[in-house]
Amino acid sequence: MADVTGRPVGEAEAGEAPSTWGSRLRLIGPGLVVAATGVGAGDMVSSLTAGTEFGTVLIWAVVLGAALKFALTEGLGRWYMATKTTILEGWHSMGWWASIYFMVYLALVTFFFGAAAPSASALATDAMFPGLLPFWLWAVLHSVVFGFGICIIGRYGLFERVMEVFVGLMFLTVVGLAVLLTPSLGELALGTVVPRMPEGSLPFVLAVIGGVGGTFTLVSYTYWVRERGWRRPAWIPMMRTDLAVGYIMTGVFMVAMLVIGAELLFANGTSIEGEDGLVALSNPISERFGPVASWLFLIGFWAAATSSITGAWNGGAYLFGDLVRTIRRVPEEEGEEYLSETGVFFRLFLAWITFPPMLLLAFDEPVTIVIVYASLGALFMPFLAVTLLWLLNLRVPREFRSGLLSNAILGVSLLIFLYVGAQEILGALGG
């Protein structure tokens, strides 16, 4: 297996980790994958709606959300490089309950995500090419081509390049549109550095914070840096630089969506609802800037939604293979068949997340399963935060343990995501 430079995977590990900012910036890649995977259509909706309701006042929530997700993902990378074991092994060391929870969570969340993510991409293509194909067929094509098709090839270098193209499309279109809207720089700066919560804004604040950067896909970062050969403690600074770039780009993209909502909809009191509203937003964009700008926005929406397909299919497949390896207690150095993109477990998972979820495109989901799925998903971020607090303070060498700042951020993450999770569970039960 080769990394993106064409060298065997282990060769990067044998070399020296970069020691300067310039040399580190030349190696960034997995952080961009996290950025592209973590921002989907739902995250675009939460940020856009916040801008629609409150203007640019809540930009600080985007910044906070990016900081919290950075801390969580940095903790995952630090655990891997300090212990040379994946987080799944760390969870398993805490007891079977953790592995069983994650196994059930991964199975359910990917089953539903396997239908939801392609549906979001289908919304964009159906808006760009109305009537060309049935909606369900657009969704199936996205799942098969951009999920199964790209990942089944089994080349990490190709996967990372595709994700970088998605990042480029997202930025050129959505961030470019936000710049065209010429927001007030003073208001942007004020919304960034001064936390303000207008009356009724708490649900929007929590949605924005929770929406910056994905769920189970955060855990996939470990496998993407593994493919790059970043496997020793010396690579921790490189990992932090890589993640910083990724989450800065995530934050900028989410701020751009908030600005679009504020500039196009906040002033005239109109609003959007759900992912269909993202498509409808192309109309006022077309009225103000012409049909080309409208198309560019739809392309950005499509890129954000479709990158989540490719990233989640790939990351989830690594997680499934590693879960099997961990349960079977196979050491990582002997577990290439479990952690290889050409391995049977990787490809079995690709089939699981691609084909069974297609049933959901034709049938309504059973209410009980939806409630269980929503509950497990809502509990994942608190689970991740509390287990990282435990493992990074008690199960790593002293020099790699979390400091005061890291523990404080993880603690804040735990409290916020517990509250958000409770609201999601109550919402599912009420629905």
CATH number of the domain enclosing 234? 1.10.4160.10
Q: Is residue 147 part of a domain?
A: yes
On the question of pLDDT at 186 being above 90, the answer is: no
Q: Is residue 428 part of a domain?
A: no
Within 10 Å of residue 366's Cβ, how many Cβ atoms? 9
Cα 359 from Cα 243, distance rounded (Å): 36
Amino acid occupying residue 213:
G
CB 326 within 8 A of CB 99: yes
On the question of pLDDT at 113 being above 70, the answer is: yes
Q: What is the mean pLDDT of residues 174-193?
A: 82
* Range of weakest confidence among 157-171, 289-303, 388-402: 289-303
On the question of pLDDT at 89 being above 90, the answer is: yes
Could you tell me the CA-to-CA distances from 226 to 12, 191, 229, 336, 401 in Å, in that order?
10, 38, 5, 12, 21
pLDDT of residue 324: 96
Among 8-17, 61-70, 207-216, 376-385, which range has the highest average pLDDT?
A: 61-70
Number of domains in the chain: 1
Residue at token pair 């303070």: 393
Q: Map residue 20 onto helix, strand or coil.
A: coil
Q: Is residue 145 part of a domain?
A: yes
Q: Is residue 427 part of a domain?
A: no
Q: Is residue 44 part of a domain?
A: yes
User: Of the candidates 41, 39, 31, 33, which has an alpha carbon nearest to the alpha carbon of residue 62?
Assistant: 39
How would you label 63-89 residue by residue, b for 16+ Cβ within 10 Å and e otherwise?
Answer: bbbbbbbbbbbbbbbbbbbbbebbbbb
Mean pLDDT, rounded, of the chain? 86
On the question of pLDDT at 85 being above 50, the answer is: yes
pLDDT of residue 374: 57
Q: Is residue 426 part of a domain?
A: no
pLDDT of residue 4: 37
Q: Is residue 415 part of a domain?
A: no
For residue 187, the enclosing domain spans 24-364
Cα 89 from Cα 390, distance rounded (Å): 14
Q: Is residue 378 part of a domain?
A: no
* Range of weakest confidence among 79-83, 110-114, 236-240: 110-114
Q: Is the dihedral of CA 220, 222, 225, 226 positive or negative?
A: negative
Q: Map residue 8 onto helix, strand or coil.
A: strand
**pTM of the predicted model as reported, rounded to 2 decimal places:** 0.90
Q: How confident is the model at residue 42 (pLDDT cuts 50, 70, 90)?
A: confident
Q: What is the pLDDT of residues 139-178, one digit of tens each?
A: 999 999 999 999 999 999 999 999 999 999 998 999 999 8
